[in-house]
Amino acid sequence: MNKVRGRRAGSPDTRAQILEAARDRFLSGGYAGTSMRAIAADAGVDVALLSYHFSSKQGLFAAAMELPVRPGELIEHALDAPVEQWPGRILRTVLRVWDDPEIGPVLAQTVLVSATQERGAGGFVEFLETELLGRIRGRLAGRDADARATGVLMSIAGLLMARYVVKVPSVAAKSSEEIVRIVTPSIAIHLRGARLRDQSA
Amino acid sequence: MNKVRGRRAGSPDTRAQILEAARDRFLSGGYAGTSMRAIAADAGVDVALLSYHFSSKQGLFAAAMELPVRPGELIEHALDAPVEQWPGRILRTVLRVWDDPEIGPVLAQTVLVSATQERGAGGFVEFLETELLGRIRGRLAGRDADARATGVLMSIAGLLMARYVVKVPSVAAKSSEEIVRIVTPSIAIHLRGARLRDQSA
DNA sequence: GACTTTATTCATCACCGTTGAGTCTATTGC
DNA sequence: GCAATAGACTCAACGGTGATGAATAAAGTC
């Protein structure tokens, strides 16, 4: 802890140090389980500085959990193929991202915080509704597009929930290829016979 | 607030009043969002009394959220039928329970708390693993029993997650019969051609 | 009716997130 | 190259949190 008041000499990136400490703490201890004072101590900084830079604990959490990927774009890319390939492509994309030790835990924590606080940081609900469900529904043609998309959404949500958030042991223990094998039919059955909407519009 | 110290005259069921106040607060404000002091105030009681009766906030939460149903038994009953009927029976059971305004919100809160604290109150993980997955797997015969059961589990988990925990609008808005129609195939496909284990053992 | 057990309050603890005031350094304008 | 300003940082304090131990009063037991 620097005992001297006022701005520090040199231009040390204190902000980055705080973010790093926050990340570690939030990932290992959860949101409620980590105190700003603990983060501040790790970063060698006064607590008040965290509020100064990020204005609140929520703000700090959001900043520390910022993702190196745009999930919406990944989904978009996975859907750039014939419907028949969607299940495999979606699943492999999702698993690759969530199994990444740099990303998966961050997403899992974000989901929890987002579900816990009614107006969640990051808005996981909005992601599911807009980025995932909306995109799938938007590409499908026909009366049953909504039902199909909803089915796909729930299949993916179940995988994520069981494997990464609640961490059911027998699901978390399986290899990603085994998961692909198991979940593929759940998704595929909703897309059977589906036709894509005309893209020329 | 009773100002006089010591045991109260008569034998008022203060414990029950506390539980009622706790239930209301926890359901409307979430776990982190409700303070023991608020509950105590609602119940017209000193905070310390909550710790006395339930030893901790977690203990109070667990006591207040105790369920009027044994989910394990319901699952058991749903599975007492030919495999072909499982999807419909499981889904209708699950939806009936979770759509009940007295039960669903309690379960949703419990899931969240259970996922947030590593050793969760009530142990939702254990429920999924033992009561649900274990029971299904136990009744199925054949090499792929484990994969089948896991597939069923994830389908149900996805439904619960999307509809009741994260509350994705387009999923939560649908009628329960519509949900049944959408999710049934996801579950059925994992059970297609499955055979039950010999029960005579 | 004395004694023990149970239910209750009060005072206090350490910790929490946030805020305002004060202090020092870096940057900008001349 | 110096003065003014803006930015980064600490300190002290606030009200709120869950928990605990001591004091007190009623209920239960013999």
Look at the alpha carbons of B91, B93, B96, B102 in this order and tell me if their dihedral is positive or negative. Answer: negative
Q: Do A166 and B189 touch (CB under 8 A)?
A: no
- Mean pLDDT score, B106-111: 93
DSSP-based three-state secondary structure for A196: strand
B58: nt with nearest C1' to CA: D18
Question: Residues A152, A78: contact at Cβ < 8 Å?
Answer: no
Residue A127 DSSP label? I
- Name B residues 45-64 whose Cβ lies under 7 Å from strand C: 45-49, 52-53
Mean pLDDT is highest, among A4-13, A25-34, B8-17, for A25-34
C-alpha distances in angstroms, A182 versus A33, B71, B75, B190, B196? 35, 25, 22, 8, 19
Largest CA distance in chain B: 70
Does residue A192 reach within 7 angstroms of strand C, measured from its CB? no
Cβ-based contacts of B174 with chain A (< 8 Å): 150
Give the pLDDT score at A2. 59
Domain ranges of chain B: 14-64, 71-196
Cβ-based contacts of B178 with chain A (< 8 Å): 147
B5: nt with nearest C1' to CA: C9
Give the pLDDT score at A12. 81
- Mean pLDDT score, A72-98: 95
The whole-model pTM stands at 0.90
What's the Å distance between residue B38 CA and nucleotide D12 C1'? 29
Percent of chain B with pLDDT strictly greater than 70? 95
Give the pLDDT score at A154. 96
Give the pLDDT score at A71. 86
Among A150-164, B91-105, B185-199, name the one with the lowest average pLDDT.
B185-199
Q: What is the mean pLDDT of chain A?
A: 91
> Which protein residue lies nearest to nucleotide C7, measured between its Cα and the C1' atom?
B7
Regarding predicted confidence, which is higher, A123 or B66? B66
Would you give the end-to-end CA distance of chain B in angstroms? 61
CATH number for region B71-196: 1.10.357.10
What's the Å distance between residue A17 CA and nucleotide C28 C1'? 27
Measured CA to CA, the distance from residue A88 to residue B164 in angstroms comes to 27
pLDDT grade for B8, boundaries at 50, 70 and 90: confident
Give the pLDDT score at A200. 59
Percent of chain A with pLDDT strictly greater than 90? 75
Measured CA to CA, the distance from residue A104 to residue A107 in angstroms comes to 5
Residue A140 DSSP label? B
pLDDT grade for B18, boundaries at 50, 70 and 90: very high
pLDDT grade for A199, boundaries at 50, 70 and 90: low
- Name B residues 3-42 whose Cβ lies under 7 Å from strand C: 3-8, 12, 14-15
Q: Which of B157, B170, B183 sits opposite A161 (nearest CB)?
A: B157
pLDDT grade for A122, boundaries at 50, 70 and 90: low
In the predicted structure, residue A7 carries a pLDDT above the cut 80: no
| Cα angle for residues A32, A33, A38 (degrees, 5° grid) | 110
In the predicted structure, residue A66 carries a pLDDT above the cut 80: yes
Give the pLDDT score at A115. 87
Q: What is the mean pLDDT of chain B?
A: 91
Give the pLDDT score at B119. 59
pLDDT grade for B58, boundaries at 50, 70 and 90: very high
CA distance A8 to chain B (A): 36
In the predicted structure, residue A117 carries a pLDDT above the cut 60: yes
Cβ-based contacts of A161 with chain B (< 8 Å): 154, 157-158, 160-161, 165
Please count the CA atoms within 13 angstroms of the CA of A171 that sit on its side-chain side.
Answer: 33
Q: In chain B, count of helices (H) and strands (E)?
A: 12, 0
- Mean pLDDT score, B183-196: 92
| Identity at B70, one-letter amino acid code | R
Closest C-alpha among B136, B144, B68 to residue B102:
B68
Phi then psi for residue A191, to 5 deg, are -105, -5
Among A52-56, A84-88, B118-122, B123-127, name the one with the lowest average pLDDT.
B118-122
Helix (H) or strand (E) holding A28: helix A14-29
Give the CATH class of B14-64: mainly alpha
Among A155-159, A165-169, A187-191, B148-152, name the one with the lowest average pLDDT.
A165-169
The first and second tokens of residue A180, run together, are 């692909």
Q: Mind listing the pLDDT tens digit for each residue in B116-152?
A: 876 555 577 888 899 899 999 999 998 999 999 999 9
